[in-house]
Amino acid sequence: MASTHQRAHRTGRACVLLAVLLLPGSAVGRLRVIQSGFPDSGEPPPGWTTWAARPEIAPRMFLDATHYRKGPASLAVSGNSNAAAYGGWEYAAGGVEPGKWYRLQAYYRAEGVPQEQLQIVARLDWRSAGGRAGQPDYAWKLQRDGEWRQISLEAPAPARAVSVRIQLYLANAPQGTVWWDAISLEEIPDPGPRTVTIASINLQPRNTGSAESSVSRFLETVDSSVTRADLILLPEGITVVGTGKKYAEVAETIPGPTVSRLAAMARRKNAYIAAGLYEREGIAIYNTAVLIGRKGELVGKYRKVYLPREEIEGGLTPGNDYPVFRTDFGTVGLMICWDVQYTDPARELARRGAEILLLPIWGGNLALGKARAIENHVFLVSSGYGYPTQVLDPNGEILAQAAEQGRAATATIDLNKRYLDEWLGDMRGRFMKELRTDLR
């Protein structure tokens, strides 16, 4: 086991910079790097260097004794009134093993940075004996802690990796400054698969005459076509399809009678259920999708944001938010039909952490549905009438499809599977870090 301790002293204050490397075969056998308490000496801390692609676009990198979590200083990067500035601090760690998983965590605080998601960059740049190994992995998951943010990443080391560079940058923020502190990198156990079985229902009831009868047809189909699932999706407007009625005639409160019936089915199947119906709140009527939990609880609802002309003329009111919902297997987002025509519903749901997009839909553009899965690198599950009932993976590939009425498209997906592009790396991470939301 090898370890190094660096100590710096200034104006009588003792501060510690600690980096520990445990080589394979030791009692613990894991790489662990901890960096905090940076010495307020004016010199780069031991093991740290600064980087910029060209000297003229180098930001100002310095130790700041006024902003820190652990003291006496933090690693600071300033745009220095240079709109082209891009760069920051780097730390090289050895002892990496291909296929092993590692977690990067770092705290940052920023001022004058309008687009933190884009302009504050924390990543792992994997290195082989002769250069770069694979592609860098970006940290993008955030937790707020007062004025500080914890940003984190979990990823396996690619083939041929023997070391890694922790890279903490500021990008193109001329009036901005970011402070980095409490930085750690450690080996973690392989998380293994995180599997979810999804069943999407293909059914279009006809000539039912009532919302109750149409909903009964859907529940009967769930009973007959779904043996086991974690998540069951029904189409848009299950209370109006086949009834011949208008939206206002079938609109109901949420919770209400249809939600109660869906909740009973969710309990019976021990599954989450999502479905579209029409919600009345006061004088407003919304095209709404609900998510019911395994115990029959109302997890949440989404009101369709993009209403086509026909629905506006039918008296519906648009929603105004893109909520995501945490389940016991992951994070889910809901869209409804016409939403798929536009980029921002799926994009914002993905930005908020949705791993699966559920799309109850009447009919729409199949190419755009596929595009939403690919461009946001998420699973997309659709249940439709004039649109395929299917499960798409983040590459837009069909994992399951129900072509016949009364059938379910059933697939077991792995939310921990990494979908890598040979030349570009993990596209979900790149999407999160390179998406431009600053332009109108």
> Does domain 2-192 bear CATH number 3.40.1280.10?
no
- The encoded tokens of residue 38 equal 């940076």
> Rounded CA gap, 246 and 155, in Å?
51
Domain 195-415 has CATH 3.60.110.10: yes
Q: Whose structure tokens read 């990543």? A: 123
**In the chain, where the domains are located:** 2-192, 195-415
Which residue ranges in the chain fall short of pLDDT 50?
1-28
At 21 the pLDDT is: 45
pTM: 0.89
Q: Any idea what the Cα angle at residue 363 is, between residues 398 and 381, rounded to 5°?
A: 35
Predicted confidence at residue 41, as pLDDT, reads: 79
Q: How many CB atoms lie within 10 A of CB 201?
A: 27
Q: What is the pLDDT of residue 11?
A: 31
Which has the closest alpha carbon to 393: 428, 432, 429, 435? 428
Instruction: Name the token pair of 286.
Output: 């919304």
pLDDT in tens, 299-344: 999 999 999 999 999 999 999 999 999 999 999 999 999 999 999 9
CA neighbours within 13 Å on the CB side: how many for 41? 16
> Please, are residues 222 and 238 in contact by the beta-carbon 8 Å criterion?
no
Give the model confidence (pLDDT) of 381-439 as tens digits: 999 999 999 999 999 999 999 999 999 999 999 999 999 888 888 888 888 888 888 88
